[in-house]
Amino acid sequence: MKYSDNFKRSLDKVCSDSSTDCNGPFWSMIIEAIADVVRNNGNLESFLKSESDLIDFGLCKEVHENSDQIRETIVNEDISQFPLQVLTISQWLMDLYSRLLLGDKKENLENEIRVVKMQIQKKEKMVAEIQEERKQHLLGLLNPSVLSASVKKKINGLEETDVMLFESMRMKKAISRGVFFSVQQKREHFDREKQLQKELAWLNSLIDSIDDRVAMFELKKAGDQIVSEFNQIIDLEVVLEKTKAELECIEKKQQTVSLLEVENAIRKELEYIRDLVKLSAKRLRIETCPVLLREKPYFNYKTLRECIERVMEFDPKIFRNYRVNLFGKPRVLFVPGIGNSLYDWKNNVILVPTMVPENNPIASVASGLIEYRLDVDEDRVLINSYNQLPEMKNIRSSLQLRSYLIKDYVKWMISEYKGYRVLQKGVKEWFEHEIAPDKNDIYTPAPYQNFALSISEYENLFKQIEEKIEDGIENCSEQDLWIGSILQYQKGKFDISLQMLQALLQKNSNFTMAWYNLGHVASKLMRRKEAVCGFTEFSKRNPQSWWAIVARDHLRRLQTS
């Protein structure tokens, strides 16, 4: 890429004075170059690939003669298997470019479909709960003389009547919208109506026979609630049908967007990222610089993964929120600059500057992830709970409270993780209650925590482990034994989990967390001696950590019980 005059002057100053702010000239040059490619309908992918060192990592040969070698140290690990999807600016731009060509409306419609489907599922669950409650009330309230075997059978089959009611309501609403039905469909509707009226008359007569008037009205109210929920489900189905039709129309047309619109949209998004990078540095009161400087510590992929996994390990509930169901976990955007990570709610990304301030990568990543944690907490449960601490009760400013929580969270991830007691007692106890892993449970890596796997994924993985166990636990690999011990524990098969941990430790006694899990699993099985051995060995091998403090607490209880 040909450097702009403005960037050349800034780069000369950077080479002589690393404190120079060249954020504006850098991004202006990048934005204009990319806009030019898009405007002229050039090959954006090819351009980004040829300039990836500068655009993705801020690598300039004028600063680093061995820039190829530095790039290799940065991209030192496969990012496809990371706990969170990691994108460079180049990858993010290509993703944005593709979406713009299809039209942003497509993505919005897909999100809307997901939301409506979730609402329907919620309504269906509500109906099922009301139906079960109604059934139990009827069976409990009716006089034994009335409650014959045939009546019991009809009560247990009330859901079938509700299905007829739902189909009847659905068809009536469709007719009112002018939907065409065949003669056969109309006949089926007529027959269903006759049967439905008969069943509803029987149910109303049964409810009217109940002596308890309050209970009778409650049962009628339950029926009205079911009708109300059915109405809402049908309305949502109509919305879903229309949205799907609109999405199908967009996909068929492959909506064409003018190159000028695409250029303007990309320019706007790049300027937005530029401003976020600047904000990241400004928060730490340092000069922002997208050019990778000499002697400045920087992230590589391996360190980035380790930091993300640390946060997920020590805050296992971080992705247990409704927004993950709707939009997925946040992505990580690796971007040239310096400063702590921050969360961009608009794009659902954790923005991570390449250079690490104060050589503390975990502090940088933790700052962005706690911002995400607070952003998805729309009911302010976390921040309100934190505000109830004696140390925080007098703080009235939400921004100040948020700032304190972010600082304490970073301390939690760095110092408390290593077993150093730096937080005040009340704050530490709050973190152990609201954030920390369960002290009475095994250590579970993030990819195998209950919420991280769908039911089908969990069952498939469990089946694979079961097949390997059939050939003998002793023949399983270390990784299979480790994963298998966790899955077996989650299934409640503590004896098999213990056997797998013992086999794993026979193969590799330095598998530290296996000793910790051994202590917990043996405790579940009331095998005190083995539990003491597990916690003791773990404490010896990992003496300075929060996990070690927990292990020693369990050890003391076992030895004094």
Residue by residue, pLDDT tens for the chain (561 residues) are: 889 999 988 888 887 775 567 888 999 999 999 999 998 888 899 999 999 999 999 999 888 888 889 999 999 999 888 889 999 999 999 988 887 776 556 777 888 898 899 899 999 999 999 999 888 888 888 777 767 888 888 888 899 999 999 999 999 988 888 888 888 988 998 999 999 999 999 888 888 888 888 888 888 888 999 999 999 999 999 999 998 888 887 766 545 567 888 889 899 999 999 999 999 999 999 888 899 988 889 999 999 999 999 999 999 999 988 888 888 899 999 999 999 999 999 999 999 999 998 899 999 999 999 999 999 998 899 999 999 999 898 888 888 999 999 999 999 999 999 999 999 999 999 999 999 999 999 999 888 887 777 788 888 899 999 999 988 898 899 999 999 999 999 999 999 999 999 999 999 999 999 999 999 999 999 999 999 999 999 999 999 999 999 999 999 999 887
- Of 170, 182, 299, 187, the C-alpha closest to 238 is 170
Structural domains in the chain? Answer: 5-102+260-373 (no CATH), 106-253 (no CATH), 377-434 (no CATH), 446-560 (1.25.40.10)
**How many angstroms separate the Cα of 186 from the Cα of each of 162, 171, 175?**
19, 9, 10
d(CA 197, CA 204): 10
What own/partner pairs with CB < 8 Å and gap ≥ 24 does 72-76 have?
Answer: 73/300, 74/298, 74/299, 74/300, 74/301, 74/354, 75/300, 75/301, 76/300, 76/301, 76/302
Residue 343 bridge partners (DSSP): 350
| Residue 337, number of CB atoms within 10 A of its CB | 25
- The alpha-carbon radius of gyration of the chain (Å, integer) is 30
Residue 342 bridge partners (DSSP): 351
Which residue's entry shows tokens 């006759």? Answer: 194
Per residue in 170-227, pLDDT (tens digit) is 999 888 888 888 889 889 989 999 999 999 998 888 888 888 888 888 888 889 999 9
DSSP for 98-137, written as a single string: HHHHH-HHHHHHHHHHHHHHHHHHHHHHHHHHHHHHHHHH
What is the phi/psi pair of residue 88, to 5°?
-85, 170
